[in-house]
Amino acid sequence: MSNTAPINANTLRLLAELERKVLWLSTWMVHHANHLRDKTDNLKVGGHQASSASLATILTALYFHVLRPADRVAVKPHASPAFHAIQYLLGRQTQQRMENFRGYKGAQSYPSRTKDTVDVDFSTGSVGLGVAQTLFASLVQDYVKAHGWARDWPEGRMIALLGDAEMDEGNIYEALLEGWKHGLRNTWWIIDYNRQSLDAVIREGLYERFEALFRAFGWDVVVLKYGSLLEAAFSEPGGESLRAWIDTCPNQLYSALTFQGGAAWRKRLLDDLGDQGDITRLIESRSDTELARLMTNLAGHDLPSLLRAFQAIDHDRPVVFIAYTIKGFGLPLAGHKDNHAGLLNPAQFDSFRQAMGVRPGHEWQRYEGLAATPAELDDFLAHCAFAAEPNRRRAAAPVALPETLPLPAQAEISTQQAFGLILNELGRSAEPLAERIVTTAPDVTVSTNLGGWVNRRGLFAKQAMADIFKKERIPSTFSWEFSPKGQHMELGIAEMNLFTLLSALGLSHDLFGERLLPIGTLYDPFISRGLDALNYACYQDARFIVAATPSGLALAPEGGAHQSIATPLIGMAQDGLAAFEPAYADELAAILHFAFDYMQRDGAKPAVGEAPEEQSWLRDETGGAVYLRLSTRNLEQPIREMTPHLRRAIIDGGYWLRPPGPNTEIVVAYSGVVAPEAIEAVGMMAEDRRDVALLAVTSADRLNAGWTAAQRARERGQARARSHVERLFALLPRHCGIVSVLDGHPATLGWLGAVAGHRQRALGVEHFGQTGSIQELFRHYGLDAQAIIAAAQGLQPARPIRYLKAL
Q: Are strands 412-413 and 635-636 parallel, antiparallel or unpaired?
A: antiparallel
For the CA atoms of 33, 37, 42, 46, what is the dihedral angle to 10 degrees? Answer: -10
Confidence of residue 27 (pLDDT cuts 50, 70, 90): confident
**How far apart are the two ends of the chain, measured CA to CA in Å?**
72
Which pLDDT does position 367 carry in this prediction?
95
Residue 40: count of CB within 10 angstroms of its CB = 7
Please say whether the dihedral angle defined by the alpha carbons of residues 456, 462, 467 and 472, taken in this order, is positive or negative: positive
> Residues 375-420: pLDDT tens digits?
999 999 999 999 888 788 888 999 999 999 999 889 999 999 999 9
Check whether the bond before 550 is cis (ω within 30° of 0): yes
> At residue 202, does pLDDT exceed 60?
no
C-alpha to C-alpha distance for 506 and 691, rounded to whole angstroms: 46
> Residues 602-630: pLDDT tens digits?
865 554 445 555 666 787 888 999 999 99
Confidence of residue 52 (pLDDT cuts 50, 70, 90): confident
> At residue 281, does pLDDT exceed 80?
yes
- What rounded mean pLDDT belongs to the chain? 89
Query: In the predicted model, what is the mean pLDDT of residues 360-389?
Result: 93
For the CA atoms of 311, 315, 320, 321, what is the dihedral angle to 10 degrees? Answer: -10
Measure CA 89 to chain center.
28
Instruction: Please tell me what DSSP assigns to residue 18.
Output: H
CA distances from 435 to 400, 625, 727 (A): 11, 19, 39
Element (DSSP H or E) covering residue 60: helix 42-61
Which pLDDT does position 686 carry in this prediction?
86
**Mean pLDDT lowest for which of 194-208, 240-254, 526-540, 673-687?**
194-208
> At residue 80, does pLDDT exceed 70?
yes
DSSP codes, 70-126:
T-EEE--GGGHHHHHHHHHHTT-S-HHHHHTTTSTTS--SS--TTT-SS--SS---S
Confidence of residue 47 (pLDDT cuts 50, 70, 90): low
Sequence letter at residue 241: S
Whether residue 547 contacts residue 630, with contact meaning beta carbons closer than 8 Å, is answered with yes
> At residue 421, does pLDDT exceed 90?
yes
Q: What is the CA radius of gyration of the chain?
A: 31
> Residues 733-786: pLDDT tens digits?
999 999 999 999 999 999 999 999 999 999 999 999 899 999 999 999 999 999
Which pLDDT does position 133 carry in this prediction?
96
> Residues 436-492: pLDDT tens digits?
999 999 988 889 999 999 999 999 999 888 777 677 677 666 777 889 999 999 999
The whole model's pTM is what? 0.93
Which pLDDT does position 805 carry in this prediction?
77
Measure CA 210 to chain center.
24
> Residues 100-141: pLDDT tens digits?
888 888 888 888 898 888 889 999 888 889 999 999 999 999
Residue 785 CB contacts under 8 Å (≥ 6 apart), including other chains: 677, 678, 680, 681, 684
Q: Is 379 left (phi over 0), alpha (psi -120 to 50) or beta?
A: alpha
- Give buried/exposed letters for 788-798 (b at 16+ CB in 10 A, else e): bbbbbbebbee
More confident residue, 453 or 163: 453
More confident residue, 517 or 561: 517
C-alpha to C-alpha distance for 135 and 501, rounded to whole angstroms: 9
Measure CA 228 to chain center.
38
Whether residue 1 contacts residue 186, with contact meaning beta carbons closer than 8 Å, is answered with yes
> At residue 2, does pLDDT exceed 50?
no
